Structure 1
Amino acid sequence: MSCILNIETATPVCSVAVSSNGKIVFERENTEGPSHASLLGVFVADAMAEVRALGLTLDSVSVSCGPGSYTGLRIGVSEAKGLCYGLGIPMIAIKTPLVLTQKVIETEELEANTLLCPMIDARRMEVYAALYDKELKVVRDIAADIVESDSYAEYLSNSKVLFFGNGADKCDDCITDSNARFVKGMYPSARYMVRLSEEAYAAKQFVDSAYFEPFYLKDFVATTPKKNIF
């Protein structure tokens, strides 16, 4: 039995979702941002009111921890820390590329042997990217990449790769391999944190809310060849 508040603010989209035993019982999302400073507190207050109205007790807060926007992550993680400290409950941190990938798994029809490559925009042709299979197993962990025409060639030579996220939106003219596929307009959302946070809660994969820091884009250093940051 678990009731988890999920917070996603790593991109200009602000979203909150409450899950009870894996089922979403409350959700708010705004795609017109960035407006996290004015909206997140309201969304969380409404979420907590719904938790009380349903007779539930919040067991944990899960936050999307980047890489992503410095301001968005700071607001989201600060809110999560405050809630966890005030309520005396554990905090879960979910990497933003995993949230993006979970959304693709739940919403897109995927061909066999397709690799999934979430991309978080940084600047110019720089992105944070990772590669997963359809079971969310890590093929290549999160790295800071400068995208060029031959980027990800070692993966594209053996399988189809689906690129998505706000970083991928600027790369389709650069990556032209016949095995490359792109999904436009894909952004992370709190509702797609639910499965990930439920699994983390069951496994007691918590972070120290007093000292945890998200992964900020301000620390971005891209190299060629790729440089892992995790």
Structure 2
Amino acid sequence: MKILYLETSSKNCSVAISDNEKLLCLCEEVSENYKQSESLHTFVEWVLEGAGISMKDIQAVSLGKGPGSYTGLRIGAASAKGFCYGLKIPLIAVNSLESMMEPFLGKNYDYIVPLVDARRMEVYTAIYDGNTGEEIAATEAKILDEHSFTEFADKKIIFVGDGAKKAKEILQLPNAEFNESIYPSAQYLIKKTLEKIEKKDVEDIAYFEPFYLKDFHGVKKKKSED
């Protein structure tokens, strides 16, 4: 089963194709300017070419549904739904934090904590068991302070994601590790996507919305004075 994966929730615009669990091609780029609107469809063309297949060979689309960048999620969701409508194939949606946790499973950590940078001292986060990947604490928007995660002070824990930088400066956890270079990536959606397909856990394309976690607050421009 050939599956197209889109992950646009962060600064990393990431696209992949797998044949069941085998990764065929990956194309991604981290940009401070959030290049999803410019790059996403080009990356889709590149991974199709790299995998040696065409769009009509794709049998499902998997989307990193967030939380993360509001604009990035809108772009990814619109593209995923468009592909699914056009090809009449299912849409699978996976929590983007799970793709950040995946590379660290089975690496002798008690807990893996993705941290997606939000505003000021806020992060989007969840807590996962370091061996099984089981969700220990549900996804939430959390304000970091020196008391955050202190219940895990005696555990081997790793914080991953661009929010780990500010966490490292404030958290009082002697056994913690921090990896600031991790972003949600399409290549790490494969395992969870196949599990969802097995369970027939697919989205209703007409009503699907990304996992924004919080309402979008736009900045109103001030009216210029005459």
TM-score, normalised to structure 1, is 0.86
Tell me if the contact between 2:48 and 2:54 (Cα under 8 Å) persists in the aligned partners: no
**Of 180, 187, 206, which residue of structure 2 is paired with 1:184?**
180
The counterpart of 2:127, out of the listed 115, 123, 131, is 131
Residue matched to 1:70: 70
Report SS of the residue matched to 2:57.
coil
Structure 2 residue corresponding to 1:165, chosen from 131, 154, 161: 161
- 2:53, 2:122 → 1: CA distance? 45
Q: Quick one: structure 1 residues 51 and 57, their matched pair in 2 at CA, closer, same or farther if it must change by over 3 Å? A: farther
Residues 87 and 169 (structure 1 numbering): CA distance in 2 closer, same or farther, change over 3 Å?
Answer: same
Partner in structure 1 of residue 38 of structure 2 = 38
- 1:140 counterpart (130, 137, 141): 137
Residue pair 2:66, 2:97 contacting (<8 A) in 1 also? yes
Query: What is aligned with 2:81?
Result: 81
How many Å separate the matches in 2 of 1:102 and 1:53? 27
> Any conservation in 1 of the 2:153–2:174 contact (CA below 8 Å)?
no
Between stretches 48-57 and 16-25, larger displacement belongs to 48-57
Q: Which runs of 5+ in 2 are unaligned?
A: 217-226
Instruction: Tell me whether 1:29 sits opposite 2:28 in the alignment.
Output: yes
Asked if the contact 1:70–1:217 (Cα under 8 Å) also holds between the matched residues in 2, the reply is no
Unaligned runs of 5+ in 1: 221-230
- Give the secondary-structure state (helix, strand or coil) at the position aligned to 1:130: strand
Aligned residues: 215
- Distance in 1, Cα, partners of 2:187 & 2:173: 32
Cα–Cα, structure 1 residues 54 and 207, in superposed 2: closer, same or farther, change >3 Å?
closer
Paired AA for residue 74 in structure 1: R
Q: 2:220 — aligned with what? A: none
Q: Name the residue aligned to 2:108.
A: 111
- Per the alignment, do residues 84 and 148 of structure 1 end up closer, same or farther by CA in structure 2, a change over 3 Å counting? same
User: Structure 1 residues 162 and 79, CA, compared in 2 at 3 Å: closer, same or farther?
Assistant: same
Superposition RMSD in Å: 2.2
Superposition TM-score, scaled by structure 2 size = 0.88
Q: Aligned partners of 1:138 and 1:69: how far apart in 2?
A: 22
Asked whether the equivalents of residues 69 and 217 of structure 1 are also in contact (C-alpha less than 8 Å), the reply is no
Shift, 1:177, TM fit? 1.6
Tell me whether 159-168 or 44-53 shows the greater mean CA deviation: 44-53
Query: Residue 139 of structure 2 aligns to which amino acid in structure 1?
Result: I
1:6 to partner: Cα distance: 0.5
Question: What is the deviation of 1:217?
Answer: 5.8
Q: Does 2:196 match 1:208?
A: no
Aligned-pair CA distance for 1:138? 1.0
Aligned residue number for residue 59 of structure 1: 59
Residues 13 and 29 in structure 2, CA contact (< 8 A), matched pair in contact too: yes
Residue identity matched to 2:176: A
CA contact (8 A) 1:10 1:64 kept: yes
Distance of 2:158 and 2:55 partners within structure 1: 42
- Give the whole-Å Cα distance in 2 for the aligned partners of 1:17 and 1:53: 12
Structure 2 CA distance, aligned partners of 1:173 and 1:63? 32
